[in-house]
Copies of this chain bind each other. A is one copy, B any other.
Amino acid sequence: MSVYVIGHKSPDTDSVTAAIAYAALMKAKGEDYVPAVSGKLNPESEMVLKQFGFATPELLTDATGKKIALVDHSDLTQAPDNLNAGEVVAVVDHHKIGDVTTNQPIFFFNMPVGCTGTVLKILYDMEGVKVEPKVAGLMLAAILSDTVNFKSPTTTDADKKAVKELAAIAGVTDTEGLFMEMLKAKSAVAGVPAMDLLHRDYKDFDMNGKKVGVGQLELATLDQVADMRDALYNAMKEQKGTERHSVLLMLTDVVKEGTDLMVISDDPALIEGAFGDKLDGVSMWIDGMMSRKKQTVPNLQKAFGC
């Protein structure tokens, strides 16, 4: 019976490429391992697979009766449905230890590094198996994506070492260029309706009884949305309606490492106070702001007296 290697739900580039790379390692060892995905690929992952010549892995959403190797997660909620009606035979990951348990001893390899791709590179070395150049390209792309080209605080020396070695194997001389291509794919906005862009990564929060919406668009450069600012503002206005106190849209420039924060609010001064700056028209540039979860929301909560 084949073992299906699968990453988490709402797959990202690490989950998709790790499934392919781990299946390839096990195939090289003579085992029948098949990569799979839990859902539709995002534009970045699609671009990466195309770049290195891979088709989209088979879709698998129900683990019933199947042998499963988990990559990039060890939490039941992120795993395929009915995992307990299947059999987990291996886990390769770089996250906190989740709640997946087994009845038999299995291979479980988790390291506190920036990406499963890095764990897999170490595993290939441990097993004495050469990484195929195409597969090395996938693993390389995953590490650049997960570590935001080494800018994420999760980056370790092991990630940098793996990128160096994988780039040599894959024949990629310009990893910076590869990262920018991925970022462009991820942040593609051309032809996408403004309301869809606002909702691409959007959440409503309760701020001391007031409803506040915050969306985020990760961009290679703010130029990508230069012609769309009025349309985005109109979408925000529509989203706000009378129900919400404020709607914010983070236009995050991943290269410059900052955010142009668009704001529409019943109390603009309150929002300005939250971030210690003045709006220049309908937005303000905030240097170093990258994370909604770790930067934007905590400042808003403080300003709203939560």
Contacts and interface: CB of A to CB of B under 8 A. Distances in A.
Interface of A: 88, 91, 94-113, 122, 126
A101 B108 contact: no
Contact of A112 (B97, B106, B110, B122): B106
B111 A110 contact: no
Contacts of A91: 97
Q: Which 9 A-B pairs have the closest CB atoms?
A: A108-B110, A105-B112, A97-B102, A96-B102, A97-B101, A126-B126, A95-B105, A96-B105, A96-B104
Interface of A is mostly: loop
A113 B108 CA distance: 12
Of A95, A97, A100, A107, the most chain B CB neighbours within 10 A belong to: A97
A292 to B, nearest CB: 20
12 contacts: A96-B105, A96-B106, A97-B100, A98-B101, A106-B110, A107-B110, A107-B111, A107-B112, A108-B108, A109-B109, A122-B126, A126-B126
A105 B100 contact: no
Contacts of A111: 105, 107
B99 A94 contact: no
A96 B89 CA distance: 10
Given A107-B111, A108-B108, A109-B108, A99 B99 contact: yes
Contact of A101 (B99, B107, B112, B122): B99
A101 B105 contact: no
Interface centre among A98, A99, A102, A126 (most CB of B within 10 A): A102
B112 A104 contact: yes
A88 to B, nearest CB: 8
Given A88-B97, A96-B103, 11 more contacts: A91-B97, A96-B106, A97-B108, A98-B101, A104-B112, A105-B113, A106-B112, A107-B111, A108-B108, A108-B109, A108-B110
Contacts of A95: 105
A101 B100 CA distance: 9
